[in-house]
Amino acid sequence: MSSECAIRLQGITKTYRLYRGPVERVKQWLRPLVHHSLGKCHENYYREHVALDDVSLEIKRGETLGIIGRNGSGKSTLLQIISGIVTPAKGTVWVKGRVAALLELGAGFHPEFTGRENVYINAGLFGLSESEIDERFDDIASFADIGPYITHPVKTYSSGMFVRLAFAIIAHVKADILLIDEALAVGDAFFVQKCMRFLRKFMDHGTVVLVSHDTTAVLTLCRKALLLDQGRALRIGEAKQVCDYYLRHLYAIHAVPDDRESSIDRSSDLTGSLGSLSNNEGMSIGHLNGRHKLGDSKAVIEQVSLTDAQGGIISCVTQRERLRLSVRCKTAVQLFSPLVGFLVRDRFGQILFGQNTNLIRPQTTLSIPPGTRFLTEFEFIMPMLGKGSYSISVALAEGTQAYQVSHHWVNDAVVFESMPKEHCFGFVGVELIHAYILQQDCQDETPTPSPAL
Amino acid sequence: MVLGTLMSHHSLIWRLARREVISRYRGSAIGVLWAFLHPFIMLTVYALVFHEVFGSRFETSVGGPVDFSMQLFAGLIVFSFLSESFHRAPYLILNNVTYVKRVVFPLEILPWTSLCAAVFHAIASVAVLVLLYGFAYGHIPWTVVCFPLVLVPLALGTMGFSWILASIGVFVRDVGQAIGPATTVLLFLSPVFYPVSAVPEHYRWVLYFNPLTFLVQQSQDILIWGRLPNWAGLAIYALGGYLLAWIGLMWFQRTRKAFADVV
């Protein structure tokens, strides 16, 4: 039953014709006529934009698919095609079951109508009869939780209220397939929690397609993910792998304008020396952060390693422990006041913490002669991190904290896993000194406040 | 098929149409009463102008005991019905972009909602006319009950054009601008301000070519002269109207796929 197919897309291609103005459009219409009568042919009056290029996809019932990609990669168009709002230029769409779509903010509300009327219209569009909506109206109103605004025209709503009402409706229409586009980003934390609870419950039997450029939402909700890039399906598979690829891909693209002239070639031998340090598949080297211009390859990071206090290579952290990060560099020029730093990121690219040599003690007096290799060591207590993979980026610069010239920046120089022994909620674990449950005796039943408390 | 679109979404159409009528009078103190007050004022003005200012010149050309303004108004009801729908049609899709791009919406029902609003206004006008007629002459022609029979072919034909106009209006915005002069021409080429008999013989074909002519005459016969409608004529018009509506709907459904790409 779970292997039943809910959505099947085959070779979906969508092209848009972009006209410079309405006159061009009319000319294009008349083109075949002119072609017939005059026998000569003007070129097309439009520019073609390919929004989706041969995307095939199959989603089984009960599956949750996340679609990620940069802006303009065709995510929303794909969702519009699945929902039937947009017809593809080529390819077939096959969808089984009642589809409820929450596309961007609009959600198909009529701005002049009150929230209540929009509930009736919108729910009616999903095939609910008047009496069915009557039955569910109170539930919808309480889910949206917008109070007396339900009787106001929706044009007076804040964007948050818009989404709350829209989500409340699709949560109550008993759909088989939910299509959600970036909508969760708008509500406040309480509402997002409510949506998450609903979605998790819905996923037990329903199919969800979620579009987002926030990989966190995709990772927490979806097991499968599709990465779109310029309308093409670049990757499809396990959400984690696709998201990892996406993040690296994103960084790679950002780095392109800067690393044209130099030093990508260095990455090959760097990978060689660093490869032995860690066998994590997520490890990569040579992606240069775009914000740090690598004007010269005069000084480079040659090797980075993460070890425990005894010098053994670490690839998995299980508790709060003392670690050593060693950074070996080589300089071709005289380095005045060198600065080495690192950043630890979680799998979403979020920076958790970082340090550099300057923050501890400014190395203003230090000067390194050309042609020498030097070693920087950071010893620090690794906090107890939540389960998952983390990466350390390392940078070599020259100057002070405020003004510096960056020589080399290596993203994901070291990748390690965290497997906390104790259960760890959230991003970091907290070390518990003690935890008690105390029973406090209460003499009389009446809740009179006692000054002793 | 044409009526299928009406039946399968009747509650939605009803909701939207009611909303459209209400929102037009929103904020005004007497609200929907304006729908009746408006024709009342118009009819009074016509009566004043044609009776007191132009005087007998028009009376004689009509050749009846009834005030010319009543007859004029009976024709105008037919014209206004068509004109109201035509003016709205090119903007139906453009003003409801969210229904095109955000949700799966049965766009083909939008002309129905504007038609429902037009029907409401036509009924209000007829009510005012009948009331004033009764007040002026002490009796009401019983043939008034046949008025819906005039409305049926008119509504079907209007729907056909509305679907086509709504569709073309998405691609060529000029349609909305062209509607104004086009309907005015239609008004003056139908026997609303003058009887057919006032037109020189060799130009009359223009009037008969105008599909509104027959319906305007029927409306005047039923509402003013107390004559029975031309059953066969109305039946043929209803059939033609249905055919037109069918063609309009086909056109609309064929072109709607491109709406989302354009708006």
Residue A383 DSSP class? P
**Would you give the end-to-end CA distance of chain A in angstroms?**
59
Chain B residue numbers with beta carbons less than 8 Å from the beta carbon of A120 are 15
Which one of A26, A109, A129 has the shortest CB-CB distance to B98? Answer: A109
* SS3 track for B52-64: HHCCHHHHHHHCC
Cα-only R_g, chain B: 19
Which one of B101, B106, B172 has the shortest CB-CB distance to A85? Answer: B101
| Residues forming a β-bridge with A338 | A398
Chain A residue numbers with beta carbons less than 8 Å from the beta carbon of B173 are 22
CA A148 to chain centre: 35
A416 vs A389: CA distance, rounded Å: 6
| Confidence band, pLDDT 50/70/90 cuts, at residue A425 | confident
Residue that wins the pLDDT comparison between A375 and A18: A375
Q: What is the pLDDT of residues B75-134, one digit of tens each?
A: 999 999 999 999 999 999 998 888 888 788 889 999 999 999 999 999 999 999 999 888
Per-residue confidence (pLDDT) for residue A445, from 0 to 100: 53
A319 vs A321: CA distance, rounded Å: 6
Interchain proximity B261–A17, CB inside 8 Å: yes
Residue that wins the pLDDT comparison between A74 and B236: B236
CB atoms within 10 A of CB A307: 16
Tokens describing residue A129: 């009869």
Contacts of A433 by beta carbon, 8 Å cutoff, 6+ apart: none
Interchain proximity B102–A129, CB inside 8 Å: no
Per-residue confidence (pLDDT) for residue A286, from 0 to 100: 34
Q: What is the pLDDT of residues A18-51, one digit of tens each?
A: 887 777 777 777 777 777 776 666 677 788 888 8
C-alpha distances in Å from residue B190, one per residue of A270, B78, B185:
88, 11, 9
Per-residue confidence (pLDDT) for residue A267, from 0 to 100: 36
Residue labelled with tokens 């949560």: A171
Q: Chain B contact for A77, CB < 8 A?
A: no
Preferred mutation among B19, B21, B94, B103 to probe A, highest tally of A CBs within 10 A: B103
| Confidence band, pLDDT 50/70/90 cuts, at residue B66 | low
| Cα angle, residue A360 at apex, residues A303 and A297 outer, rounded to 5° | 35
Preferred mutation among B102, B171, B177, B256 to probe A, highest tally of A CBs within 10 A: B102
Task: Give me the half-sphere count of Cα atoms (radius 13 Å) on the Cβ side of residue A297.
Answer: 14
Chain A residue numbers with beta carbons less than 8 Å from the beta carbon of B12 are 121, 124-125
Interchain proximity A121–B15, CB inside 8 Å: yes
* Helix, strand counts (H, E) of chain B: 13, 0
pLDDT of residue A183 exceeding 70, the answer is: no
Phi, psi of A386 (to 5 degrees): -60, 160
Interchain proximity A125–B12, CB inside 8 Å: yes
ipTM of the complex: 0.74
Per-residue confidence (pLDDT) for residue B50, from 0 to 100: 77
Q: What is the pLDDT of residues A218-251, one digit of tens each?
A: 877 888 999 988 888 888 988 888 887 887 776 5
Chain B residue numbers with beta carbons less than 8 Å from the beta carbon of A100 are none
| Confidence band, pLDDT 50/70/90 cuts, at residue B139 | confident
Nearest one of B103, B83, B115 to B16, comparing CA atoms: B115
Per-residue confidence (pLDDT) for residue B241, from 0 to 100: 95
Helix (H) or strand (E) holding A379: strand A373-382
Q: For residue B243, is it left (φ>0), alpha (ψ between -120 and 50) or beta?
A: alpha
Cα-only R_g, chain A: 29
A249 vs A416: CA distance, rounded Å: 20
Interchain proximity B102–A108, CB inside 8 Å: yes
Chain B residue numbers with beta carbons less than 8 Å from the beta carbon of A153 are none
Which one of A87, A101, A120 has the shortest CB-CB distance to B103? Answer: A101
Average pLDDT for residues A357-362, to the nearest whole number?
76
B171 vs B157: CA distance, rounded Å: 22
Task: Name the minimum distance, in Å, from the CA of B241 to any CA of chain A.
Answer: 29
Provide the 3-class DSSP secondary structure of residue A128. coil
Chain B residue numbers with beta carbons less than 8 Å from the beta carbon of A103 are 101-103
Per-residue confidence (pLDDT) for residue A438, from 0 to 100: 84
Residue that wins the pLDDT comparison between B69 and A193: B69
| Confidence band, pLDDT 50/70/90 cuts, at residue A335 | confident
pLDDT of residue A372 exceeding 60, the answer is: yes
Q: What is the pLDDT of residues B24-54, one digit of tens each?
A: 887 788 888 888 999 999 988 888 887 777 7
Per-residue confidence (pLDDT) for residue A102, from 0 to 100: 82
| Confidence band, pLDDT 50/70/90 cuts, at residue A195 | confident
Which one of A83, A86, A124 has the shortest CB-CB distance to B12? Answer: A124
Per-residue confidence (pLDDT) for residue B237, from 0 to 100: 95
Provide the 3-class DSSP secondary structure of residue B197. helix
Per-residue confidence (pLDDT) for residue A48, from 0 to 100: 83
Which one of B101, B103, B261 has the shortest CB-CB distance to A125? Answer: B103
Q: Out of A257-261, A377-381, B192-196, give the one with best mean pLDDT.
A: A377-381
Q: Chain B contact for A272, CB < 8 A?
A: no
Dihedral sign for Cα atoms in the order A37, A42, A46, A52? positive
Count A/B contacts: CB-CB distance under 8 Å: 64
Interchain proximity B260–A85, CB inside 8 Å: yes
- The answer to whether the CB of B161 falls within 8 A of the CB of B168 is no
Interchain proximity A107–B102, CB inside 8 Å: yes
pLDDT of residue A252 exceeding 70, the answer is: no
Per-residue confidence (pLDDT) for residue B230, from 0 to 100: 92
Interchain proximity B172–A22, CB inside 8 Å: yes
Chain A residue numbers with beta carbons less than 8 Å from the beta carbon of B260 are 80, 85-87
Contacts of B162 by beta carbon, 8 Å cutoff, 6+ apart: B85, B86, B88, B89, B92, B111, B114, B115, B248
Q: What is the pLDDT of residues A279-314, one digit of tens each?
A: 333 333 333 333 333 446 678 888 888 888 888 887
Nearest CA in chain A to B22: A113
Task: Name the minimum distance, in Å, from the CA of B96 to any CA of chain A.
Answer: 8
Give the dihedral of Cα atoms A70, A76, A79, A81; nearest 10 deg.
Answer: -120
- Classify burial at A51, counting beta carbons within 10 Å of its beta carbon; exposed 0-12, middle 13-18, buried 19 or more: buried
pLDDT of residue A94 exceeding 70, the answer is: yes
Which one of A22, A87, A110 has the shortest CB-CB distance to B173? Answer: A22
pLDDT of residue A258 exceeding 50, the answer is: no
Percent above pLDDT 90 for chain B = 48
Interchain proximity A85–B15, CB inside 8 Å: no
- Classify burial at B30, counting beta carbons within 10 Å of its beta carbon; exposed 0-12, middle 13-18, buried 19 or more: exposed
| Confidence band, pLDDT 50/70/90 cuts, at residue A443 | low
Chain A residue numbers with beta carbons less than 8 Å from the beta carbon of B168 are none
Give the dihedral of Cα atoms B148, B152, B157, B158; nearest 10 deg.
Answer: 50
pLDDT, averaged across chain B: 88
Per-residue confidence (pLDDT) for residue A239, from 0 to 100: 84
Q: Chain B contact for A117, CB < 8 A?
A: yes
Residue that wins the pLDDT comparison between A3 and B227: B227
| Cα angle, residue A289 at apex, residues A286 and A294 outer, rounded to 5° | 80
- The answer to whether the CB of A62 falls within 8 A of the CB of A7 is no
| Confidence band, pLDDT 50/70/90 cuts, at residue B167 | very high
Nearest one of B84, B85, B86, B54 to B67, comparing CA atoms: B54
Preferred mutation among B13, B104, B175, B253 to probe A, highest tally of A CBs within 10 A: B104
B202 vs A30: CA distance, rounded Å: 37
Per-residue confidence (pLDDT) for residue A263, from 0 to 100: 37
- The answer to whether the CB of B100 falls within 8 A of the CB of A85 is yes
Phi, psi of A65 (to 5 degrees): -115, 130
